[in-house]
């Protein structure tokens, strides 16, 4: 706007600064579309374009056919994150927080709102309780008189006017008034009377005294009196109706007539009667004594006249119905209630409590509660009335819960009251039982009831039932029975009376008498002990035996008894009465504790004599892995799997070799295993001639024959190898002969206790045992050194021999090749099956050799030849001449022959051969 124009406009009188003068009509650029569609809401939209939305603008109906509710995430089972399942979150720690699902959890806000709305209506009912506050007060002081109650209710406005109250007020009702049509003065008086006496029956028209201003007042009608609402107290105990804890008999009979007068007639039960319902006669409490009154002890109800107004609020129907029926004179209670048909009114008064004066206390009397407690069971000593008094004092204070749990049964009460038991006492189950069952039950009962006497089964049931007469059994000493097994177990178990040596001794004696039925131990009451005391002591022992017997089986392993036994001070029950006894008992205790420590170990430790007395050494098996980690060899390698079914030679060999040479045998042995093994050793060593147990093999020198087996198995290995791996180019004639040769020594060996009959059977180590035993027992200690030496020797000798024997051996082996090779695979270099057989073969071979030698002559020493001759003459006649040239002199064979032969001639030959060697030792060597 130029200044000129401004001036011009100013002249005209236009305010140039006004907005209108400055209005700009130029538009630059394209205007943005309006932010909101200013669409007419009432605009017609075709049906297919219409959308259903809730108040929050969410689309509620959608889908292909635009129908159905929205469910899940856009009608899918997916979620906003897609189909990825949630990672598992453990709710373990949140279990406490987790609540059970409520219906509300599955509702959306609309549903919840609905529920809330509906609840609101329900809630209004709560406010209808007009007199709730008053009732609470009236409960507080039950015997506040009705006038003050009425005043209170009149003066105190209801906390909040409910709908009903508001309606009533609009209808003219005011607080403090009763509800109903207005009534005349007379009726109101009647109502007042009725309210004050509390009974509809009690009011008689004659008693309504007209006031002076009656004529003036009777011109008006009055609002009826307010009716107190009867609130039935919640009954949360099991007392009889109308009984309050601590009520005396007089109270319960309603003698004082206190209470309840203001609340109108008592209703027999709170069920089915609304607060505003009238009480029928049927509902009235038949046993209600609270309305007992002199005035209504009438044969006819005086207030019952037909012309009476019918606006009574309560009891009106009953008045109408109660016909003037003459009531039989005996059939009425004092309050006019009819006696139930079939019952007769008693003329005697109800028994009342009587209090007896305290007995005169003798001057020298001292309280001894122990006596009371111990003889608590014997009720005959204490007058029932005394007990009753005590009980009564207690009952006033005991709340209901305690009363219930105090454990006082009807029988107990009966016995307290001194009632005679019912004459038709039920027959005990025990009467139908056999004696055995009864005994068993008796034992069970002994565990359960400490105080009940056990021995007579019939009396066991008597004990529980009230027994007015003193138990006759209490006068005779009685020893309860304990199962011998339990007693025996308890003898070895815990000693329950460490601080009382006398008791402990008696306990032990008792157990011994029970454990051994034939024992002559008899327990007598101590001199100062009365019979009942003795009986209870015996019962205590019987219980202790059951309780303290050691835990058996699997449970026992879970507990360890404390290393230190507590010697707690002995608690003396009852009031403290210092006596001479106490001193001596404390001395005894001291002595007992000293005696307790008499175990040599503890004694030595106390004396400072540490050494072998305080040291215990037990075998312990470290875990194999532990040994490995510590770089220590397993100290007791586990004996290999013991299979009693395989008692054959190969296994034996395998075992011995592994246990001796192989430290890497898997072993998880514990001391227990060790122990078992040692037991086995004992067994087998005791019976050497019996079948051997594999367990003892290789575990030491208790078996004097085992070393031999270990030694013998080395020698044939070379043969065996050769037999297996060398090429067989020998003819079958050798084989046949070898077969025969095998049989020769076998026949001889059958003289042993267990021997083989055929070659195919594996030769057990036993077959070699008798051979050795026959000659002389060999000191096993000598085996080892000789073994090493002989090893080299035999290896040399063998190598010499084998070169020559080779082919022959091969053929023999071939025959049993299958067995041999199998074992070979299994045990590596130690050929287990072959171990024995080759030995025999070896013997046979040697024998053959000898035969051959004999034929070749010259090369052998004289003695050897003699031996061989003998052998040959005895066994062999089929000498194969063909192989003679192959054999040369060997050092060992004669001795071997001797060892394997049974004949004494052989032994003499052996002597001649190796005379410089001690006999036993030589045997071992030769055996190699």
Binding site for another protein (CB under 8 A): 560-564, 601-602, 604-606, 608, 610-612, 614-623, 625-627, 629-630, 632-636
Q: How far is the CB of 594 from another protein (least distance, A)?
A: 15
CA 277, chain centre distance (Å): 56
Q: How far apart are CA 287 and CA 289, in angstroms?
A: 6
Q: Please give the full DSSP string across 278-299, using - where no structure is assigned.
A: PPPTTTB-TT--TT--STT--S
How far apart are CB 623 and another protein at their closest, in Å?
A: 4
As a dihedral over the C-alpha atoms of residue 289, residue 294, residue 299, residue 302, rounded to 10 degrees, the angle is: -110
**Separation of alpha carbons 441 and 430, rounded Å:** 9
- Give yes or no for a contact between 249 and 284, defined as CB atoms under 8 angstroms apart: no
Q: 382-388 — which CB contacts under 8 Å span 24+ positions?
A: 384/416, 384/417, 384/418, 385/354, 385/356, 385/418, 386/356, 387/416, 388/416, 388/417
Q: Could you tell me the smallest distance in angstroms from the CB atom of residue 669 to another protein? A: 9
Q: Between 88 and 559, whose beta carbon lies closer to another protein?
A: 559
- Shortest distance (Å) from residue 659 CB to another protein: 14
**Token pair of 437, please?**
């069952």
Q: Which is nearer to another protein, 331 or 622 (CB)?
A: 622
Least separation in angstroms between residue 560's CB and another protein is: 6
Nearest-angstrom CA–CA distance, 646 and 387:
80
- 8-state DSSP, 57: S
Q: How many whole angstroms separate alpha carbon 383 and alpha carbon 417?
A: 9
Q: Which residues pair with 225 in a beta bridge?
A: 177
- HSE-CB for 660 with a 13 A CA cutoff: 17
- For another protein, the closer of residues 82 and 611 by Cβ is 611
762 and 647 Cβ atoms separated by less than 8 Å: no
Give the Cα separation of 883 and 890 in Å (integer): 15
Nearer to another protein, 51 or 602 (CB): 602
Return the SS3 of 72: coil
The smaller minimum CB distance to another protein, of residues 259 and 619, is found at 619
State the Cα–Cα distance between residues 796 and 706, nearest whole angstrom: 25
Q: How far apart are CA 49 and CA 39, in angstroms?
A: 15
- Residue with Cβ nearer another protein (67 or 611): 611
Smallest separation, CB 493 to another protein (Å): 17
Rg (CA), the chain: 57
Report the SS3 class of residue 730. Answer: coil
CB of 676 to another protein, least distance (A): 16
Please say which residue, 362 or 608, places its beta carbon nearer to another protein.
608
Instruction: Pick between residue 129 and residue 673 the one whose CB is nearest to another protein.
Output: 673
- Please count the other Cβ atoms lying within 10 Å of the Cβ belonging to residue 369: 10
Minimum CB distance to another protein, residue 631 (Å)? 8
State the nearest-atom distance from the C-beta of 610 to another protein, in Å.
Answer: 4
Instruction: Determine contact, residues 896/839, Cβ cutoff 8 Å.
Output: no
Q: Which residue has the tokens 């305290």?
A: 358
Residue closer to another protein by CB (options 562, 598) is: 562
Q: How far is the CB of 557 from another protein (least distance, A)?
A: 10
Cα(262)–Cα(197) distance, rounded to whole angstroms?
7
Please say which residue, 202 or 667, places its beta carbon nearer to another protein.
Answer: 667
Shortest Å distance, C-beta 602 to another protein: 6
- Distance of alpha carbon 259 from alpha carbon 223, whole angstroms: 27
Which CB, 296 or 669, lies closer to another protein?
669
Q: Which residues of 387-423 are buried (b: 16+ CB within 10 A; e: fewer)?
A: ebeebeeeeeebeeeeeeeeeeeeeeebbbeeeeeee
Q: How far apart are CA 384 and CA 374, in angstroms?
A: 17
Taking the complex as a whole, the smallest distance from the CB of residue 588 to another protein amounts, in Å, to: 25
**In this complex, which beta carbon is closest to another protein, that of residue 61 or of residue 613?**
613
* Residue 625 CB, nearest approach to another protein (Å): 5
CB of 411 or CB of 673, closer to another protein: 673
Smaller CB distance to another protein: residue 343 or 610?
A: 610
Closest to another protein by CB, 444 vs 623, is 623
Distance of CA 524 to the CA centre of its chain: 41
Query: How near is the Cβ of 615 to another protein at its closest, in Å?
Result: 4
Q: Characterize 435-464 residue by residue with b for buried, 16 or more Cβ atoms within 10 angstroms of its Cβ, and e for exposed.
A: eeebbebbbebbeeeeebbbbbbebbbbbe
Q: In 10 A of CB 169, how many CB atoms?
A: 12
Spatial separation of the C-alpha atoms in residues 58 and 81, rounded to whole Å: 20
Q: Which is nearer to another protein, 255 or 623 (CB)?
A: 623
For the CB of residue 703, give the shortest distance to another protein in the complex, in Å. Answer: 22
Give 414 or 622: the residue with its C-beta nearer to another protein: 622
179: closest CA among 134, 171, 194? Answer: 171
Question: Would you say 62 or 624 has its CB closer to another protein?
Answer: 624
Shortest approach of another protein to residue 561 CB, angstroms?
A: 8
Contact 711, 928 (CB under 8 A): yes
One DSSP character per residue, 625-645 reads HHHHHHT---SSPPPPP--TT
Tell me if 460 sits within 8 A of 453, measured CB to CB: yes
Per the DSSP assignment, residues forming a β-bridge with 82 are: 79
Q: Please state the closest distance from residue 668 (CB atom) to another protein, in A.
A: 10
CB of 743 to another protein, least distance (A): 48
Distances (CA, A) of 887 to 186, 409, 883: 157, 109, 7
């Amino acid at each position: 706007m130029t200044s000129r124009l401004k001036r011009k406009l100013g002249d005209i009188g236009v305010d140039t600064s006004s907005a209108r003068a400055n209005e700009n009509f130029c538009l630059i650029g394209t205007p943005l579309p309006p932010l909101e569609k200013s669409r007419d809401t009432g605009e017609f939209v075709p049906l297919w374009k219409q959308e259903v939305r809730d108040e929050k603008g969410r689309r509620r109906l959608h889908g292909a056919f635009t129908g159905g509710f929205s469910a899940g995430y856009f009608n899918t089972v997916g979620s906003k994150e897609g189909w990825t399942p949630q990672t598992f979150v453990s709710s373990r720690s949140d279990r406490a927080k987790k609540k059970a699902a409520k219906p509300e959890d599955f509702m959306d806000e609309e549903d919840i709102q609905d529920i809330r709305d509906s609840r609101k209506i329900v809630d209004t009912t709560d406010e209808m309780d007009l007199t709730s506050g008053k009732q609470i007060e009236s409960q507080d002081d039950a015997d506040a008189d009705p006038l003050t109650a009425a005043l209170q209710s009149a003066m105190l406005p209801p906390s909040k006017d409910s709908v009903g109250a508001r309606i009533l007020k609009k209808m003219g009702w005011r607080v403090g008034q009763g509800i109903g049509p207005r009534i005349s003065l007379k009726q109101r008086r009647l109502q007042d009377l009725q309210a004050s006496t509390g009974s509809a029956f009690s009011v008689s028209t004659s008693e309504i005294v007209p006031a002076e201003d009656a004529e003036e007042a009777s011109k008006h009608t009055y609002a009826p009196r307010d009716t107190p609402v009867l609130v039935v107290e919640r009954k949360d105990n099991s007392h009889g109706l109308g009984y309050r804890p601590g009520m005396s008999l007089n109270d319960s009979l309603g003698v004082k007539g206190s209470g309840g007068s203001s609340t109108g007639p008592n209703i027999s039960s709170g069920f089915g009667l609304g607060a505003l319902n009238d009480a029928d006669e049927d509902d009235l409490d038949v046993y209600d004594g609270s309305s007992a009154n002199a005035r209504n002890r009438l044969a006819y109800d005086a207030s019952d006249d037909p012309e009476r107004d019918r606006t009574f609020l309560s009891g009106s129907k009953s008045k109408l119905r109660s016909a003037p029926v003459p009531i039989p004179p005996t059939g009425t209670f004092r309050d006019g209630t009819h006696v139930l048909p079939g019952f007769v009114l008693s003329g005697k008064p109800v028994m009342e409590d009587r209090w007896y004066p305290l007995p005169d206390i003798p001057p020298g009397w001292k309280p001894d509660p122990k006596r009371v407690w111990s003889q608590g069971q014997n009720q005959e000593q204490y007058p029932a009335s005394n007990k009753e008094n005590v009980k009564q004092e207690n009952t006033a204070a005991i709340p209901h819960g305690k009363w219930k749990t105090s454990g006082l049964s009807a029988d107990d009460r009966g016995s307290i009251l001194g009632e005679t038991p019912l004459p038709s006492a039920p027959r005990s189950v025990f009467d139908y039982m056999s004696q055995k069952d009864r005994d068993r039950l008796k034992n069970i009962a002994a565990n359960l009831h400490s105080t009940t006497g056990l021995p007579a089964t019939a009396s066991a049931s008597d004990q529980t039932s009230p027994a007015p007469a003193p138990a006759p059994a209490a006068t005779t000493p009685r020893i309860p029975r304990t199962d011998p097994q339990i007693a025996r177990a308890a003898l070895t178990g815990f000693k329950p009376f460490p601080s009382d040596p006398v008791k402990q001794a008696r306990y032990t004696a008792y157990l011994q008498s029970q454990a051994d039925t034939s024992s002559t131990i008899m327990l007598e009451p101590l001199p100062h002990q009365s019979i009942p005391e003795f009986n209870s002591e015996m019962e205590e022992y019987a219980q202790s035996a059951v309780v303290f017997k050691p835990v058996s089986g699997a449970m026992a392993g879970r507990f360890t008894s404390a290393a230190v036994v507590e010697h707690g001070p002995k608690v003396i029950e009852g009031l403290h009465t210092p006596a001479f006894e106490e001193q001596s008992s404390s001395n005894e205790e001291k002595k007992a504790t000293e005696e307790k420590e008499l175990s040599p170990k503890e004694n030595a430790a106390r004396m400072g004599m540490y050494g072998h007395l305080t040291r215990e050494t037990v075998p312990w098996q470290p875990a194999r892995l532990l040994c490995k980690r510590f770089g220590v060899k397993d100290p007791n390698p586990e004996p290999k799997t013991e299979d009693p079914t395989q008692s054959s030679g190969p296994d034996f060999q395998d075992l011995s070799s592994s246990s001796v040479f192989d430290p890497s045998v898997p072993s998880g042995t514990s001391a227990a295993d060790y122990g078992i093994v040692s037991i086995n050793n004992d067994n087998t060593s005791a019976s050497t001639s019996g079948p051997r147990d594999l367990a003892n093999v290789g575990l030491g020198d208790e078996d004097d024959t085992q070393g031999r087996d270990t030694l013998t198995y080395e020698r044939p290995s070379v043969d065996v190898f050769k037999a297996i791996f060398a090429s067989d180019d020998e003819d079958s004639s050798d084989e046949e002969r070898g077969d025969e040769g095998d049989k020769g020594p076998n026949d001889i060996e059958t003289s042993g206790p267990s021997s083989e009959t055929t070659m195919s059977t594996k030769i057990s180590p036993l077959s070699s045992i008798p051979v050795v035993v026959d000659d002389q027992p060999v000191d096993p200690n000598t085996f080892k050194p000789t073994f090493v030496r002989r090893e080299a020797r035999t290896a040399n000798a063998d190598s010499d021999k084998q070169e020559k024997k080779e082919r022959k051996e091969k053929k023999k082996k071939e025959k049993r090749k299958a067995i041999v090779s199998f074992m070979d695979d299994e045990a590596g270099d130690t050929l287990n099956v072959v171990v024995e057989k080759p030995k025999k073969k070896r013997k046979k071979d040697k024998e053959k050799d000898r035969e051959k030698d004999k034929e070749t002559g010259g090369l052998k020493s004289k003695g050897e030849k003699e031996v061989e001759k003998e052998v040959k003459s005895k066994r062999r006649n089929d000498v194969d001449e063909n192989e003679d040239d192959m054999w040369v002199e060997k050092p060992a064979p004669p001795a071997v022959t001797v060892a394997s032969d049974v004949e004494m001639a052989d032994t003499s030959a052996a002597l001649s051969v190796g005379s410089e060697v001690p006999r036993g030792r030589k045997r071992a060597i030769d055996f190699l």
